[in-house]
Structure 1
Amino acid sequence: MIVNRLLGNRRDQIDEDAFDEMTFMVESGSDRIGALDFQRSPTDYVAREAEEATLEELQTFADDVDAGRPVSPLLDRVILHGSSIGGARPKALVVDRGAERPVKLIAKFSATNDSFAMVKAEFVTMRLATRAGLDVAPVRIASVAGRDVLLVERFDRVLEKDHWNRRAMVSALTWAQEHELAAHHIAYTDLADLIRARFGRVDATLRELFGRLTFNILVGNSDDHARNHAAFWDGTALELTPAYDIAPQRRAGRQANQALNIRPGERDARLALALEAAAAFHLSVQEARELIDHQVATILGSWGELSEEARMAPVERAFFEGRQILNAYAFEGYGAAPSFPPAA
């Protein structure tokens, strides 16, 4: 989007050498995720803020980005800060002033080439994770021009009287001090080691991370790479942020792998493998099984209600049941795979 703003219809004239990392830092929005901002001056702070947008304007922006079209000047101003969010899907930042207190949100849009109901599925799995006892960013779902939009509350901003305070946060790449291109070997058990060394509330944090691992397996979220785990940093200690980006992913066959290793060199998306690693999270096998079984029961008990809230059609529900969510492969070596109850 920065290229669109700087060049517009002249993007075919781009000089790649002119767009270095510094360009993207100083041209990105000031309300970027986390606490950092980048300025041209060492003494004068000039915030690069955007006008507030409606959801309809945000959907138009998402359609333009999705189609590779230059963004209109109006939407360019409105959604300047969206470029700092990252990720593969169209997103933007927005403030909801309709509640008792303003809430900052990330808007995640459905795309024209979605092969399944991705936004609805992420809404449901994020809500299921909350009901299962995990610390998860609050979400809601909206419809804009007949398209689904997931609204995720930001946890890196805190409203204090009339201004927003920033919360510093770092991804697991930073905890592990790894470069993104060399991070394929990071495992959940490595993150557990780092939690023991650098986090507060160690036992509770380890249990939370283990719960996120097993829930990812249960709902087919294989996109659990190191950037999808984050922690707040207060200058002294680290603390897990609420979980985010919990969403079923495309599945080609019976087997599946997690993006992050469960143990070094082992990433099979199976509960049995997670169970073997339970001790690294200060959990006994029995405690780990109880946690997993509670998650399974929550999914089975709340799937119907939440899929109705997301306005999933029966064919959309059937697409996920037993395929991405509660897939039989996840239960190999653990126990019998459960079956979804018939729709009411």
Structure 2
Amino acid sequence: MRQDLMEKGNMARPTEMNLSQVDPTDETPLRWGLASIILVSFLVGTAMNGHIFWLLCVKMKRTVNTIWFLHLTLSYLVSCSCLPFFVVQDVLNFRWVFGPFLCRAVNFCIAVGMLTPVFLLTIISLDRYLITCHPVWSRRNRTKPQARRVLAGVWTLSVVMSIPYLVSYVIQGDKKEVCEKNFAFFITEDKDKAEALHYKIDLAVFLVRLLLTFLFPFFIIVGCYHWMCQEIKKKKLARKAGKPFQVLLVSVACFFIFRLPFYLYYALLLFHKDQRKTVEVLRIIFSISLCLNICLTPILYLFVGEKFKQVFRTSTIVLLKKGFIMPIEDTNAGEESSHLNDGSSMQMMPVQWNNLASP
């Protein structure tokens, strides 16, 4: 009979973020160090994502492109909202003091916040591909109502895929209550049977998530960028693609770089949990990388494609316009123009359809 994924008292079962579930035998400085990183990520991530979310909602015209990034920013805010719970849990040495409801709700929300950006970045990449390589089709079908329907599907898929985390997290422990994942929580008498069932379900969930939220999106996005680069090179559209292309490319690259340690850590727990030192190193790396992904992504929107000093001399709204408006995409009668609420506006140049590829 397989033992549980984690040996009780030595290592906790992996949680959705596992940011604060530090080995109880860890040194206090390590726990406080991770708690400090999570806290800083919460403050920076909430401030930056909140600021950009507000600008996209209030200061920029609602277009297909801004709608994509509005929801991407919202997904990061969902993740940020859960971080304080992990800070407290880490400070209390893995003890959960918020009750069973928040145990499930927080891990469910963090799962939704982690899954949604994967699907959104895939959709945005496909959107950029269609604009670049199939402009006529995009011109006819790329509308805000259609974008909202796609987004409804994205959020629904994220919620559905997060349901296993909603039902599996329970409060366990006699002397110290901990919030941990247990897919076999309903089996209380046969411990070996419960551990075996938990392992099988956890493995199945991991494999499905690995395929649907990492490998498939990765290959789709790489394929989109390959054909986009070919088209841009062929039609000499590099200048027209500009900063929006760079922003999306860097966002996708950072996303996969920051998320890779999570899957490596989880795979090691499932298949080689005896390598404790490696597991601990990967746990620390992926905990930090997920925090960086949440708080650094909005900063990249401003700095990519800009000189460092110029960023501090330019208003945020202007930098966002440069990052989120793509001159080669269809404007749909001026749809992709952005404006300030005081009435000032900046109209985009008309797209030269004869310079773009036909569908």
Q: Same fold (TM over 0.5)?
A: no
TM-score for the superposition, normalised by structure 1: 0.27
Greater Rg by CA = 2
Q: Kindly indicate which of the two structures has a greater share of residues assigned to helix.
A: 2
Q: Kindly indicate which of the two structures has a greater share of residues assigned to strand.
A: 1
